[in-house]
Structure 1
């Protein structure tokens, strides 16, 4: 992999609107490149902002890069401090991080979407002085440099998406796309934590997102529009994947049942991440809870949904979602996962023989498919001790039966 694009993006007075060639849209599907994953080397040279000459006047028209960006992004004709039109002092800028509008240039910072220090540790430490200057001043796209409010820019600093995300949640999908596009265009890598955070942000997009490379595709299901909850609708006779219920804590001993019940969901698909927003959890007696926030289950990943999400009260269980109105019995019961269209995705029924006081009911880890998890012989008592004294493996691969 090269450390920079074949040709340097140059800071001209025009920019490329979304999508750029590395981020393409087709129908309801957004395609973005999969970044190379690499941890930060320990022996790279230290970062110095002085190595990145920025806010230069490349075309020698008296407008430096900051002024060029302010001019491009102002939704009104900008005002200048003199009739030479060199320094911008007024205009109208819609800060994407917060959705606020600003009219004074002094209230606006120009942010490198991928910060200079982040670029440095992601491979740019190898660049020469000219390449760093190109990166620091590039306006070849309309999102490499963006006008933002000072407060958000200070809060973001050099942080990646694993540490900071825009306060305006409606912008996070676009932020992730643009972050990936910048890194891909300049040959920069991403860490594991950074990439996981980006996948979570892409899971908030309103349409389907595909991450493309030569090895395959990761597809994120689109966020589905709210539909009436499937109350009273009979379930189909056969569940459909790819999600499986893989572990159930119906009778905790460390804390009361009302605080410590939980169950685990596994995504058996190697490429498809699933957003559970607008799905329904249903019990055998018809009790239901509709999931009203984003819960993204990554490919071959586990999530825990709990009756109480407070770790100080639920026995130290880390849950991604707290449900209400679902109380698991300690004898005969079932849990169903129903998608927003009313389609049954998975159902696990159990009886008193498969309820273990102080231990979860755990699916054999070699039985991760819809048929195998219907077989009671593939379920057993968890054997791994948790910190609270109960037994289970919430959010992790199960113990062998």
Structure 2
């Protein structure tokens, strides 16, 4: 009888231990899921206010708009996203940067190349190099992708700390409709201020040619504007999205359903 009671108590103890381990594993899984949806790449809910929430498009007085293929529709980014075609990627092994024209053309014909136009637009206290009315030599800004404060100084090594990012990467655009554009339309896409943001060099390198399904700005406060801007560029140039990309964009916009499309003005 004693042996039977002892075995029973041991069995109960092992059962409690097993349940405790299962409960701990469940809590760990819940914690991991909680991180993924609150702090991970596709966080739901309100974005964290880590830095800027938007970036400029045009600078009144000296920056001219670049003619797109079609005007960006008004309304919310969610509404415009619903109008974009959903397709798979076209082959990208024939992509060359030269298909979008020489880098940093003066497409708006204001006398300055696009890179310097964007630096002048985005940097606070931007100053020209001596003897130039175009070349930006220095400035500072609260960088939108990371939320960090960055000082720009022109130089062989220092200039790369601030790069000009194509919001819709040209390699991505090439696989999602840009091959059907004319050479002039591709030049406009590559130099349109709507599609350009001064960004942290390392963040720009990390992004590469990624779409919203595989890269989003670390600064969560900027993601709604970033995705709305990608949608607006794709609408303006007749580009499409993949199913995974559209799902990723919708997840971001779930936190900001009223986010407007970005209309240059």
TM-score bucket (shorter structure): 0.5 to 0.7
Runs of 4+ residues over 4 Å off in structure 1 = 59-62, 207-211
Superposed counterparts of 1:4-19, under 5 Å = 13-14=63-64
Q: Tell me, which stretches of 5 or more residues in structure 1 are unaligned?
A: 1-10, 212-401
Return closer, same or farther for 1:114/1:210 CA change in 2, 3 Å cut-off: closer
Q: Distance in 1 between matches of 2:108 and 2:150?
A: 27
1:75 maps to 124
Greater helix content: 2
* Superposition CA RMSD, Å: 2.9
Return closer, same or farther for 1:79/1:198 CA change in 2, 3 Å cut-off: same
1:87 paired with 2:87, answer: no
Q: Distance in 1 between matches of 2:245 and 2:93?
A: 21
Superposed counterparts of 1:1-400, under 5 Å = 13-14=63-64, 21-24=72-75, 31-34=79-82, 35-42=84-91, 46-53=94-101, 54-58=103-107, 62-76=111-125, 78-105=126-153, 106=159, 107-139=161-193, 141=194, 144-205=195-256, 207-208=257-258
Shift of 1:102: 1.9
1:162-193, CA deviations, whole angstroms, 9 ceiling, x for partnerless residues?
A: 11111011111111111111101110000011
Return closer, same or farther for 1:86/1:209 CA change in 2, 3 Å cut-off: closer
1:333-353, CA deviations, whole angstroms, 9 ceiling, x for partnerless residues?
A: xxxxxxxxxxxxxxxxxxxxx
1:388 maps to none
Shift of 1:208: 4.3
TM-score, normalised to structure 2's length?
0.64
Residues 111-120 or 93-102, more deviating: 93-102
Whether contact under 8 Å (2:172, 2:210) holds in the other structure is yes
Q: Tell me, which stretches of 5 or more residues in structure 2 are unaligned?
A: 1-58, 154-158
* 3-state SS of 2:80 partner: strand
Greater strand content: 1
Shift of 1:51: 1.7
Return closer, same or farther for 1:40/1:21 CA change in 2, 3 Å cut-off: closer
Shift of 1:148: 0.4
Return closer, same or farther for 1:79/1:119 CA change in 2, 3 Å cut-off: same
1:306-341, CA deviations, whole angstroms, 9 ceiling, x for partnerless residues?
A: xxxxxxxxxxxxxxxxxxxxxxxxxxxxxxxxxxxx
Return closer, same or farther for 1:126/1:91 CA change in 2, 3 Å cut-off: same
Q: Distance in 2 between matches of 1:165 and 1:51?
A: 26
1:365-395, CA deviations, whole angstroms, 9 ceiling, x for partnerless residues?
A: xxxxxxxxxxxxxxxxxxxxxxxxxxxxxxx
Return closer, same or farther for 1:169/1:23 CA change in 2, 3 Å cut-off: farther
* 3-state SS of 2:73 partner: coil
